[in-house]
Chains A and B, each alone.
Chain A
Amino acid sequence: MTALELRHLSVTLRGRAVLRDVSLRVAPGELVGLIGPNGAGKTTLMRAALGLVPFEGESSLAAMPPATRARTAAWLPQAREIAWPVTVERLVMLGRLPHLAAGQRPTAQDRAAVDAALAATGLAQFRHRTATRLSGGEQARALIARALAQEAPLILADEPTAGLDPAHQIATMQRFRALADAGRAALVSIHDLGLAVRHCTRLVMLDAGRLVADGAPGRVMTPERLAQVFHVRGYFADTAEGPVFQSLDLLEKVE
C-alpha cells in the first residue's frame, strides 16, 4: 500500500531544471517532512505530484482523473488565498466539494467533517466570523481546516506552520501526526527543522532540485548534510523528551 509514489520526477520550468529525477514513496501512517533551503524545489515537487505543473516521470496522483485525485489528496498551497468575505464555516465547507455532486447540498456527513476540522484547528468559536477579517494566523488555520475537512487519505501541505504562533505550530504538526497515526499520510514542507525533527516520522531533504537524503530524522540530519545543504551548524540529540534539533551558526556566508 502506498499513499503516493513518484518515479524519476523531473520538472523543467523556462529552460531551468527545477526538479531532477526524484523518486519517493509515501506510505499510509507516515508524516513525511520535506526540507531544504529556499529554491530547493519543495513546492514544485508537491505541485508536480498533484499534476499542477508539467513534469517528466510518473506520479501516482497525477495519473488519476481529477475528481478521483481530489478525493485522494488534499492540497494546502503556501499562498493563503481567501478571495471573498465568506464565513469560516463556508470556507471550510469548500473542502467538501470533491465529495458533493454538482448542486448537491451538504449532507450530515459533510457537516460532521467541517465540525471536526474546525474543532481540530481550534476555530469552532470562529465558525460564523468572516474569514477575511481574521488575523493572518487565524486565516492560515482556517485554510488548514479546509484541507482537513476534505478527509483525503493523503494531505500535501506547503509550509503549513509558517506564520503561526508556537502553540498552533505544535498543534498543527500534532494534527498531521495524528492523521498519520490513524492510517492516513501527510507530506509537509517545512523550514523549521526543530519542528520537522520532532514531529515527522521521516524526512526527505532536497537540494537544488535533487533528493539528497531520505529516512528517519536522526539519519537525515547529519552535520555533513547540514553543512552542505543548509550551510549551518546545528545541535541534534535524542533526548528523553524526544528528538531535539536547534540550528546554531552559519558556516559560511549565505549568498
Chain B
Amino acid sequence: MTRLIAALAALVGALFLGSLTLGPAGIGPGESLRALVLGDAGPLTLVMREIRLPRAILAVLVGASLGLAGAAMQGYLRNPLAEPGLIGVSGSAALGAVIALQTGLAASLWFGLPLMALAGALAGVGLVLALAGPRGGSLTLILAGIAISALAGALTSLVLNLSPNPFAANEIMFWMMGSLADRSMTHVWIALPFTLLGWALLATLGRGLDALTLGEDAASALGVSLRRVRLTLVAGTASVVGAATAVAGAIGFVGLVVPHILRPLVGAQPSRLLPASALGGAALVLAADMAVRLILPARDLKLGVLTALVGAPIFLHLIYRTRKEMA
C-alpha cells in the first residue's frame, strides 16, 4: 500500500517535471528548470513562471481533485460507475462559465469566468441538497443530481441557441471541451483555496466510506453519521469539481476511470483508494496535458477531448473484464 502511494507520488513528480520542460520554445530541461528556480528576469524565466508552472500546477490540482472526488463518490454510492459530475456540479459550473462568456463578463473582468463557474457550482449543489432533503438516502441524491445536470445542460444549450454572437458561441464550445492551455498563476490562486478546502473535506471520509461497505444500516450502527458523510461528500465534491471546472472546463472520464483502475491495487478498500486515486488522477491529467502538446502541437488539441478519447476505450476494457469476472 505505502509502496503504491510512493510509486504514484514518484510518477506524479516525474510527470510534473516533464510537463515543466515541455513546450514550443525548445529549451533544454536543465536550462529551463534553472531559469524557473533561480530566475534571471529574462524571457525564459517569464515563460517558465508565467506559462508552464501554472499549467503543471493546475494539472495536478485538477487531476487530483477529479480522482479524489471520483473515488469518494464511488465509495459513497457503492457503485463503480459513479463519477463526480453525477451530483450536477460540473454541469452547473459549466453553465456559470457559459453565462460569463456570453454576457462578456469573462472578457471585461479577468477573473469573471472562474468566478461565475464557482457561483454556478455553488447554486447547483445548493439546489441538489435542497431537492434531496436532509434525511434521504443515496438514491434521492442521484436523482436530484441528474435533474440539476439536465437542467444546467438545457440552460447551457439555450444560451448557445440564443447567442447572437457566433464568436461567443465558438468560444463557449471550445471552453466546454476542457483545456489547461494559456492559464496563468491567477487561475491557480482562484482554484487553490477551494481545492484545498475540498481535499480536506473529502480526506475525512475514509472511515465512513469503509463502513458503508456493509450498507447504510450497518454503517449507522457502527457509529457513522450518514448525514455528515453525505454533506461532507457533497460540499467537498462541489468545492474541488467546481474549482476544477472553473479553471479548466469540463474534463471527463478521469473521476470515473482512475478509481476503477486503482481499486484492485488497494484491495478495494474505499479509504485506501482515496489517496491513491488523487495521485493517479494527477498523474493522468499531467500525462494527458503533455500528450495534447506532443500529438498536435500546432492545433490546440483540447485536454477534455483527449481524456474522453483515451478514457472511453479504457472504460470499455474495464467493462469487458468485469463481465468476464461475473460470468
Contact = CB atoms under 8 A, between A and B. Distances in A.
A131 B260 CA distance: 18
B6 interface: no
Interface string A136-151: 0000000100100010
Interface string A169-182: 00000000000000
Interface string A35-58: 000000000000100101000000
B217 interface: yes
Nearest to A152: B221
Q: Which of B207, B212, B213, B270 has the most CB of A within 10 A?
A: B213
Given A84-B213, A84-B268, A73 B218 contact: no
A89 B25 CA distance: 54
Contact of A102 (B207, B222, B225): B207
Interface string B47-65: 0000000000000000000
A252 interface: no
Given A87-B267, A90-B269, A97-B207, A81 B215 contact: yes
Contacts of A98: 222-223
Nearest to A83: B78
B223 A146 contact: no
Contact of B268 (A75, A85, A95, A103): A85
A66 interface: yes
Contacts of B263: 84
Interface string A58-69: 000000001101
A221 interface: no
A97 B218 contact: no
Given A86-B267, A97-B207, A102-B204, A73 B215 contact: no
A205 interface: no
Contacts of A84: 78, 213, 263, 268-270
A69 to B, nearest CB: 7
Nearest to A54: B135
Contacts of A102: 204, 207
Interface in A146-161: 146, 150
Contact of A86 (B218, B223, B225, B269): B269
A200 interface: no
Nearest to A64: B223
B140 interface: no
Interface in A172-221: none
A24 interface: no
Interface in A208-255: none
A74 interface: yes
A98 to B, nearest CB: 5
Interface string A90-127: 11001101100011000000000000000000000000
A134 interface: no
Contacts of A28: none
Q: Which of A47, A67, A76, A84 has the most CB of B within 10 A?
A: A84
Interface in B192-214: 204, 206-207, 210-214
B232 interface: no
B184 interface: no
A33 B84 CA distance: 45
Nearest to A156: B221
18 contacts: A47-B217, A50-B220, A52-B221, A74-B221, A77-B215, A77-B217, A81-B214, A82-B214, A83-B212, A83-B214, A84-B213, A84-B270, A86-B213, A87-B267, A97-B222, A97-B223, A98-B222, A150-B222
Q: Which 7 A-B pairs have the closest CB atoms?
A: A70-B223, A81-B215, A75-B221, A83-B78, A84-B268, A66-B223, A77-B217
